[in-house]
Amino acid sequence: MARSAVRPPEPDTLQISHRSRPSLISDLLRSKKAVISLGMLTAVVMVAVLAPVLSPFDPSKVQTGPFFAPPSSLHPLGADNLGRDVLSRIIWGSRVSLLAGLLVSSGALLLGVPLGLLAGYLGRSADTVIMRGMDVLFAFPPVVMALTFAAVIGLGTRTVLLALVLVYTPSVSRVTRSAVLGVRAQAYIEAARTLGQRDRWIVLRHILPNSLGPVIVQATLIMSYAILSEAAISYLGLGTQSPEFSWGLMLSDASDYMWMAPYLALWPGLAIMLVVFTFNFLGDGLRDILDPRQRSVLRGE
């Protein structure tokens, strides 16, 4: 049984706490998780950007080969029920997934960070009003919110993304708020206030930068949740609509032909898993770097 409780802190922990200006980039490069996941992410982004060059066929073109063609040199991942090339569709589908992750987490950050800052810094009634409002949004599971929006605005990728921004905003504002509460209690904030600095200056110059670590980790995780949710909603037929491409939509089509061509469901499933795994792994890596308390806990120190 390990007796780590009495072990002295590891040398690198000491170095970090002594360093005056920690550089995020050098920390990132030292974290294996971060380097691996950033490498994977770069690869996925390249695939999405270079989709027109990389995909062997036009992803919408039917009868590029026989229906349900098994994997071959012409169609490395096979062809679907209309004879469309699966590899090309997977490559193009990466765009919707990455866009979902990126737009949803940026949207949630844009809304959630200011709200969390205000709630945490102002406290009192502003805090109550903002956080109760967030509770309301929090009561809607992402898929259910997206379904509601689909019913109201109509089906499509845009509707889904809008709904997901709204449901993930509360989690950003909560994380921001609690980080702000932690930072606000520090002596240097008290000092800044005593020096007569303005509230706005204190918030932007001191509180915001020092609260961002957990928020960045949360944003990375929201990317993975958003990709999963978009895929699920498209699978239900309420998100991305044909003839656009989405891995969720491919899975939905594939499940109709599962007994004939099970590999049709395999590829989009693996693709979603790989991208979500990348963001989860990146989130873990960033948490190790940005949240020292969590880091020592996870290492078992």
Contacting residues toward another protein, per CB under 8 A: 1-6, 132-133, 135-136, 138-144, 147-152, 224, 228, 231-232, 235-238, 248, 251, 254-255, 258-259, 262, 265, 268-269, 272-274, 276-277, 280-281, 284, 294, 296-301
3-state secondary structure of 294: helix
- Pair of tokens at residue 174: 């909560």
Report residue 62: phi and psi, to 5°. Answer: -90, 160
300 DSSP assignment: T
Quick one: 45 or 191, whose CB is closer to another protein?
A: 45
Task: Please state the closest distance from residue 50 (CB atom) to another protein, in A.
Answer: 24
Quick one: 188 or 263, whose CB is closer to another protein?
A: 263
Beta carbons within 8 Å of 147's beta carbon, 6+ residues apart? 233, 236, 238
Angle at 183 between CA 179 and CA 189, to 5 degrees: 155
Report d(CA 107, CA 170) in Å as an integer.
12
Quick one: 5 or 25, whose CB is closer to another protein?
A: 5
- Pair of tokens at residue 247: 């891995």
Task: Report how far apart, in Å, the C-alpha atoms of 74 and of each of 59, 212, 246 are.
Answer: 14, 48, 22
Task: Please state the closest distance from residue 124 (CB atom) to another protein, in A.
Answer: 16
User: Taking the CA of residue 96 as centre, how many other CA atoms within 13 Å lie in the half-sphere pointing to its CB?
Assistant: 32
Task: Please state the closest distance from residue 96 (CB atom) to another protein, in A.
Answer: 14
Quick one: 70 or 262, whose CB is closer to another protein?
A: 262
Quick one: 57 or 267, whose CB is closer to another protein?
A: 267
Report d(CA 98, CA 236) in Å as an integer.
19
Task: Please state the closest distance from residue 139 (CB atom) to another protein, in A.
Answer: 4
78: left (phi over 0), alpha (psi -120 to 50) or beta: left
Quick one: 107 or 170, whose CB is closer to another protein?
A: 170
Beta carbons within 8 Å of 167's beta carbon, 6+ residues apart? 137, 138, 140, 141, 142, 145, 146
Task: Please state the closest distance from residue 216 (CB atom) to another protein, in A.
Answer: 19
Task: Please state the closest distance from residue 22 (CB atom) to another protein, in A.
Answer: 23
Task: Please state the closest distance from residue 59 (CB atom) to another protein, in A.
Answer: 20
Quick one: 16 or 274, whose CB is closer to another protein?
A: 274
Report d(CA 282, CA 284) in Å as an integer.
5
Quick one: 189 or 288, whose CB is closer to another protein?
A: 288
Report d(CA 18, CA 81) in Å as an integer.
61
Task: Please state the closest distance from residue 131 (CB atom) to another protein, in A.
Answer: 10
Q: What is the CA radius of gyration of the chain?
A: 23
